[in-house]
């Protein structure tokens, strides 16, 4: 018996019932077959329709003793039902096969067309892999499992294409082959362009950097390898090959000078490929881009006076700190506390390490002396704040100090009380810093005590362990009480006046201006500030974070009150405006120069452009070996950890340089690659030398020859060998370089410093 439901002209619904056992064990009640779809009605009252247009395979059947089995790949899943009524299924099976095969063939044609577009006619993007994985791969997998059936139903030409596609599976491996095939194809087709776009033909590495158009593309360009040529060639290639129009390309440069150079190069080189200068893409700095977005969205672009005159920002910061110190009950003590970073001398492993720290970190007291360490600083400031006059390291009053074997200068001399105070660097077991012999140090302590006793002078003692046990101030108070030395706390106004006159507030303001710049450029909130401070092992991190966050909020309010923005706002506010209901970017290609110096704020602007844009392709060019703008927020890790922080990408290394010789390349490479975070590069130089071209001179020499004499002598020897040799002098400290300049310039010219 056959059940036919007549629903109107040319619309017939055939019913496939379950077998007798299917009534008990099948999950479905019945299937309804129409000319457009197959409907499955489940016993749980759910009903689902599967259109033939979603077919990903050819319907199959199997006869069984207890009923027939029906299977069909459709809409990303496998319909597989057994225990069906054999007569019902046979009656409509050919209709299903014919309809599913026609739709399958159409889907195959469309999927293969998409494959040609996404993987053959252009560089296979990572985002396109997902599309192919969802559309083409299921079809190919179904073909493999049902190959004999497909071969009976599909055209031989279609089967041949499917067999060819199978060679690219799995796509995670086949994508490399597809990309290499595209690269080779483009190297041939675009050969003339690559030969003439610059004054010299592009190298193969440069050509590949132009060709590769993944979603994200990182071009690592060693110094002198032609990164600007790549930027120019890539932009013009997009236009010349018809991949993009000028308004669909955005080129971002780090600063105005770099933007100007790129514009000029584009204008000049566009003529070599027949592109009119007015058809060249736009080049902007990040700030110019941000300002343009703000203007388009009718937001204020009035620049703050702080951007025009940085000194005014320092003045504002000084005034804010002064108000903070005077108005906040804890402001004064907090300011003094945060003006210094504590350090435990026992943490140093060697004397050289300790000496280097002392050399690079100045501890200057509220009274103005430069002391030798943090604990001496605490003592000096405590004495000053409590009205106790003192001299730091004044000579011991008696000539008998020479009996100690050195010019004895006690740490502190309390002038009114005529009492000496020594701070001894020992723990409770008498142990000293690792580079100081404990026995000798303790012997000197005993000699000092004996000297004071024999001379009738009073020696007060504090110890390293007083500080580590957080009782140094309590110890000082006890000593003053024992000696009946008057302690008079200075008033807040007196202390403020001293801080102000000593320039501590203004100097601290300069430091906080730098901190504010980092907070702004990296968009740090209080939690992020705290995390950053803790990562750097900064003491009092919580209190520092509170103060810096207050400064940032006050600064933002100042800008708001003045109805103005700063350079950071150009980027920050523009980023916030890139939304579907506000600014909607239309760029399909974004090229970024000097990416190694990009800040987090700039990166977030880029991410907003990408997320809200028409799936643009991002190409960044930079060199992790040349990152020099960390002080202004540059985040080198965005380059060195590009995969983790930005995403999957193509990587091209430009390693042939024309700027320096192999000796300099080898020395610089060995030095930089000591850092495991840096990319490994095999820099090849056009200029080759047999002898070293790098010379290391030490300012500390055993003979009488000065550093300046050494430099002049070396330059003389180099110029004797090569009168036109280019020479650069590098120095660790500016004063060393200034001394060398003064001497060398009187004898030689054309020297870079």
List the structure tokens of 178. Answer: 């597809």
Predicted confidence (pLDDT) at residue 79 exceeds the cutoff of 50: yes
Phi, then psi, of 28 in degrees rounded to 5: -110, 155
Percent over 90 (pLDDT), the chain: 67
pLDDT at 657: 75
Rounded distance between C-alpha atoms, residue 214 and residue 122, angstroms: 10
Residue 686 resides in a domain: no
C-alpha dihedral, 629 to 632 to 638 to 640, nearest 10°: 30
Same domain for 327 and 435, yes or no, is yes
Domain membership flag for residue 520: no
Q: What is the pLDDT of residue 679?
A: 66
Number of domains in the chain: 4
How far separated are the first and last CA of the chain, in Å rounded?
A: 100
Give residues with Cβ within 8 angstroms of 525, minimum separation 6: 549
Confidence of residue 166 (pLDDT cuts 50, 70, 90): very high
Query: What's the 3-state SS for 722-751?
Result: CCCCCEECCCCCHHHHHHHHHHHCCCCCCE
Whether residue 631 is predicted with pLDDT greater than 60 in this model: the reply is: no
pLDDT in the model for residue 5: 47
Residue 7 banded pLDDT, cuts 50, 70, 90 = very low
> Within a 10 A sphere around the Cβ of 525, how many other Cβ atoms?
12
User: 352 and 485, same structural domain?
Assistant: yes
In this predicted structure, the answer to whether residue 246 has a pLDDT above a threshold of 50 is yes
Residue 592 lies in a domain: yes
Q: Of 355-359, 424-428, 533-537, which gets the smallest average pLDDT?
A: 355-359
**Confidence grade of residue 403 (pLDDT, cut at 50, 70, 90):** low
CB of 669 closer than 8 Å to CB of 218: no
C-alpha angle 446/450/454, rounded to 5°?
175
The CATH number assigned to the domain holding 118 equals 2.30.29.30
Whether 322 has a pLDDT exceeding 90, the answer reads: yes
| Res. 398: pLDDT tops 90 | no
Give the C-alpha distances (Å, rounded to integers) separating 230 from 210, 224, 654, 684. Answer: 6, 12, 10, 18
User: Does residue 480 sit within a domain?
Assistant: yes
Same domain membership, residue 210 and residue 346: no
pLDDT at 686: 63
Whole-number Å distance between alpha carbons of 466 and 472: 5
Beta bridge pairs of residue 218 = 620, 651
Do 166 and 56 share a structural domain?
Answer: yes
Q: Distances in Å between the alpha carbon of 661 and those of 669, 689, 722?
A: 12, 7, 14
Answer yes or no: do 640 and 577 share one domain: yes
What pLDDT is attached to residue 671?
A: 67
pTM (whole model) above 0.95: no
Token digits for 380? Answer: 């000096």
> Residue 6: what pLDDT?
46
| CA 430 to each of CA 385, 405, 465: distance values in angstroms, whole numbers, following the listed order | 30, 22, 10
Q: How far is CA 699 from the centre of its chain?
A: 36
Mean of the pLDDT values across residues 559-569? 93
> What average pLDDT score do residues 435-447 get?
93
Confidence of residue 701 (pLDDT cuts 50, 70, 90): low
* Residue keyed to tokens 């619309």: 11
**How far, rounded to the nearest angstrom, does the alpha carbon of residue 97 sit from its chain's CA centroid?**
56
Q: Which of 720, 567, 737 is nearest to 728 (CA)?
A: 737
Tell me, what's the pLDDT at 416? 95
Both 356 and 414 in a single domain? yes
**CA-derived radius of gyration, the chain:** 39
pLDDT of residue 626: 65
Q: Could you tell me if 342 and 405 lie in one domain?
A: yes
Does pLDDT of 728 surpass 90? no
- Residue 750: its pLDDT value, please? 72
Residue 725 has pLDDT above 90, yes or no: no
pLDDT higher than 60, residue 704: yes
Angle between helices 600-612 and 286-296 (to 10 degrees): 50
User: What mean pLDDT do residues 730-734 have?
Assistant: 77
How many whole angstroms separate alpha carbon 219 and alpha carbon 232? 13
Using CB atoms within 10 A of its CB, is residue 157 exposed (0-12), middle (13-18) or buried (19+)? exposed
Q: Helix crossing, 541-561 with 526-535: angle to 10°?
A: 140
Closest CA to 279 of 244, 253, 252: 244
Token output for 397: 């009053």
Round the average pLDDT of the chain to a whole number and report it: 88
Contact call for residues 418 and 331 (beta carbons, < 8 A) = no
Give the span between the Cα atoms of 179 and 241, in whole angstroms: 18
Task: Give the three-class secondary structure for 368.
Answer: coil
Question: Residue 49, SS3?
Answer: strand
Cα distances (Å, whole numbers) of residue 239 to 114, 219, 226, 266, 536 = 23, 20, 20, 12, 47
- Is residue 185 domain-shared with residue 208, that is, in the same domain? no
Give the span between the Cα atoms of 192 and 232, in whole angstroms.
16
| pLDDT for residue 203 is more than 60 | yes
pLDDT for the residue numbered 481: 96
pLDDT value for 668: 66
Would you give the distance in Å from CA 568 to the centre of its chain? Answer: 17
Same domain as 455, residue 342 = yes
Any domain includes 683: no
Q: In the prediction, which pLDDT does 523 show?
A: 86
Residue 285 confidence (pLDDT) above 90:
yes
Do 736 and 704 share a structural domain?
A: yes
The four Cα atoms 326, 329, 330, 331 give a dihedral, to 10 degrees, of: -20
Looking at the domain assignment, is residue 454 inside a domain?
yes
Q: Quick one: pLDDT band at residue 1, thresholds 50, 70, 90? A: very low
Alpha-carbon span 748 to 746, nearest angstrom:
6
Are 588 and 215 in contact, with CB atoms under 8 Å apart?
no
* Residues 220 and 252 both lie in one domain: yes
Among 91-100, 650-659, 699-708, the range with the most confident prediction by mean pLDDT is 91-100
In a domain? residue 556: no
Q: Tokens standing for 704?
A: 């009488």
Lowest mean pLDDT among 255-269, 309-323, 387-401, 464-478: 387-401
Domain boundary among 504, 521, 553: 504
Closest C-alpha among 514, 509, 544, 540 to residue 529: 544
Residue 9, pLDDT score = 47
Place of tokens 């309590």: 474
What pLDDT, in 10s, does the model give residues 520-536?
988 899 999 999 999 98
Query: What integer pLDDT is reported at residue 350 of this predicted model?
Result: 85
Final residue before a domain boundary, out of 189, 213, 230:
189
Is residue 743 included in any domain, yes or no? yes
In sequence order, what are the residues at sequence separation of 6 or more whose Cβ sits closer than 8 angstroms to the Cβ of residue 257? none
Q: Are 132 and 171 in contact (CB under 8 A)?
A: yes
Distance of CA 85 to the CA centre of its chain: 64
Q: Which of 55, 61, 56, 18 is nearest to 37 (CA)?
A: 55
Check residue 2 and give its pLDDT: 46
Burial letters 340-364, b for 16+ CB under 10 A, else e: beebebbebeeeeebeeeeeeeebb
What distance lies between CA 17 and its chain's CA centroid? 63
Quick one: DSSP state of residue 400? G
- Express each pLDDT in 170-202 by its tens digit: 998 999 999 999 999 999 999 999 999 998 899
User: At residue 702, does pLDDT exceed 60?
Assistant: no
pLDDT tens digits along 574-622:
999 998 888 999 999 999 999 888 888 899 999 999 999 999 999 999 8
At residue 445, the pLDDT reads: 95
- Average pLDDT for 367-385: 94
* 404, burial (CB in 10 Å: exposed 0-12, middle 13-18, buried 19+): middle
Closest to 228 in 3D by CA, of 197, 186, 249, 193: 197
**586 burial class (0-12, 13-18, 19+ CB within 10 angstroms)?**
exposed
Find residue 11's DSSP bridge partners.
8
Angstrom distance (rounded) from CA 282 to CA 292: 12
111 against 704, higher pLDDT: 111
Q: What number is the average pLDDT over the span 64-90?
A: 93
- Total number of residues shown for the chain: 753
The per-residue pLDDT for range 733-748, each reduced to its tens digit, is 777 778 778 777 777 7
Structure tokens, 346 = 């026992």
Domain extent, residue 654, equals 204-301+566-658
Strand partners, 463: 424
Structure confidence at residue 726 (pLDDT): 81
DSSP lists the bridge partners of residue 17 as: 30
Inform me whether the pLDDT recorded for 349 exceeds 90: no
Is residue 490 domain-shared with residue 453, that is, in the same domain? yes
Under 8 Å between Cβ of 219 and 654? yes
Q: E-strand spans in 334-425?
A: 363-364, 370-371, 391-392, 412-414, 419-424
> E strands along 549-601, which residues?
589-592
The mean per-residue pLDDT over the stretch 475-485 comes to: 96
The pLDDT tens digits for 286-320 are: 999 999 999 999 998 999 999 989 999 999 999 99
pLDDT band at 699 (very low <50, low <70, confident <90, very high): low
Q: Which of left, alpha, beta for 123 (phi over 0: left; psi -120 to 50: alpha)? A: beta
Least trusted range by pLDDT, from 183-187, 315-319, 338-342, 715-719: 715-719
Question: Hunting for tokens 């379950």 — which residue is that?
Answer: 18
Count the Cβ atoms, other than its own, within 10 Å of residue 432: 19
Instruction: Report whether 451 contacts 403 (CB < 8 A).
Output: yes
**How crowded is the C-beta side of 16, counted as CA atoms within 13 Å?**
29
Last residue of a domain, one of 141, 160, 189: 189
Greatest pairwise CA separation for the chain in angstroms = 130
């Amino acid at each position: 018996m056959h059940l036919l439901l007549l629903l109107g002209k040319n619309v017939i619904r055939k019913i496939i019932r379950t077998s007798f056992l299917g009534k008990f064990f099948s999950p479905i009640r019945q299937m309804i077959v129409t000319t457009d779809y197959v409907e499955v009605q489940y016993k749980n009252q759910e009903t689902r329709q599967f259109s033939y247009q979603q077919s990903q395979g050819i319907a199959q059947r199997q006869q069984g003793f207890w009923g027939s089995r029906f299977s069909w790949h459709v809409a990303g899943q496998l319909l597989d039902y057994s225990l069906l009524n054999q007569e019902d299924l046979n009656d409509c099976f050919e209709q299903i096969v014919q309809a599913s095969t026609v739709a399958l063939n159409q889907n195959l044609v469309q999927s293969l067309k998409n494959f040609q577009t996404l993987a053959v006619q252009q560089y296979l993007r990572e985002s396109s892999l997902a599309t192919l994985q969802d559309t083409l791969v299921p079809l190919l997998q179904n073909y493999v499992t049902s190959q004999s059936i497909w071969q009976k139903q599909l055209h031989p030409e279609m089967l041949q294409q499917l067999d060819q596609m199978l060679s690219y599976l799995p796509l995670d491996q086949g994508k490399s082959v597809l990309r290499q095939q595209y690269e080779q194809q483009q190297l041939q087709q675009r050969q003339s362009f690559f030969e003439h776009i610059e004054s010299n033909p592009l190298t193969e590495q440069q050509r590949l950097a132009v060709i590769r158009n993944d979603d994200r593309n990182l071009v690592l360009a060693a110094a002198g390898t032609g990164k600007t040529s790549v930027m120019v060639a890539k932009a013009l290639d997009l236009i010349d090959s018809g991949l993009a129009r000028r308004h669909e390309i955005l080129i971002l440069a780090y600063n105005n000078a770099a933007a100007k150079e790129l514009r000029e190069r584009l204008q000049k080189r566009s003529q070599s490929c027949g592109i009119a200068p007015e058809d060249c893409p736009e080049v902007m700095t990040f700030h110019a881009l941000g300002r343009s977005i703000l203007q388009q969205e009718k937001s204020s672009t009035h620049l703050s006076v702080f951007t025009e005159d940085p000194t005014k920002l320092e003045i504002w910061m000084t005034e804010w700190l002064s108000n903070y110190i005077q108005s906040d009950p804890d402001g004064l003590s907090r300011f003094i506390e945060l003006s210094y970073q504590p350090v435990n001398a026992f943490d140093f492993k060697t004397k050289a390490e300790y000496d280097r720290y002392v050399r690079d970190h100045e501890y200057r007291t509220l009274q103005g002396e430069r002391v030798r360490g943090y604990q001496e600083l605490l003592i000096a400031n405590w004495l000053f704040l409590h009205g106790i006059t003192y001299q730091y390291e004044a000579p011991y009053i008696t000539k008998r100090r020479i009996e100690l074997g050195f010019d004895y200068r006690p740490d502190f001399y309390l002038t009114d009380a005529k009492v000496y105070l020594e701070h001894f660097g020992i723990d409770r077991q008498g142990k000293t810093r690792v580079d100081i012999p404990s026995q000798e140090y303790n012997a000197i302590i005993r000699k000092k005590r004996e000297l004071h006793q024999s001379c009738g002078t009073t020696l007060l003692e504090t110890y390293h362990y007083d500080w580590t046990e957080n009782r140094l101030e309590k110890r000082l108070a006890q000593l003053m009480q024992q000696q009946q030395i008057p302690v008079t706390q200075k008033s807040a106004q007196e202390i403020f006046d001293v801080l102000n006159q000593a320039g501590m507030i203004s100097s601290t303001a300069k430091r906080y201006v730098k901190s504010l710049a980092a907070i702004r450029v990296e968009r740090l909130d209080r939690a992020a500030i705290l995390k950053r401070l803790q990562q750097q092992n900064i003491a009092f991190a919580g209190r520092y974070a509170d103060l810096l966050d207050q400064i940032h909020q006050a600064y933002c309010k100042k800008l708001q009150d003045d109805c103005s923005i700063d350079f950071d706002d150009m980027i920050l506010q523009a980023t916030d405006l890139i939304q579907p209901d506000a600014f909607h970017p239309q760029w399909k290609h974004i090229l970024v120069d000097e990416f190694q110096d990009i800040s987090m704020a700039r990166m977030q602007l880029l991410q907003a452009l990408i997320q809200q844009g028409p799936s643009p392709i991002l190409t960044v060019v930079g060199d992790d070996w040349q990152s020099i703008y960390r002080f202004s927020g540059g985040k080198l890790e965005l380059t060195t950890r590009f995969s983790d922080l930005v995403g999957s990408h193509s990587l091209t290394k430009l390693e042939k340089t024309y700027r320096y010789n192999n000796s300099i390349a080898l020395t610089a490479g060995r030095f930089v690659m000591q850092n495991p975070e840096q990319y490994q590069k095999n820099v090849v130089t056009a200029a080759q030398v047999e002898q070293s071209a790098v010379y290391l001179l030490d300012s500390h020499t055993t003979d009488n020859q000065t550093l300046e004499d050494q430099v002049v002598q070396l330059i003389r020897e180099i110029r004797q060998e090569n009168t036109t040799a280019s020479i650069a002098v590098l120095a660790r400290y500016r004063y060393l370089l200034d001394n060398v300049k003064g001497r060398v310039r009187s004898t030689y010219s054309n020297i870079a410093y």
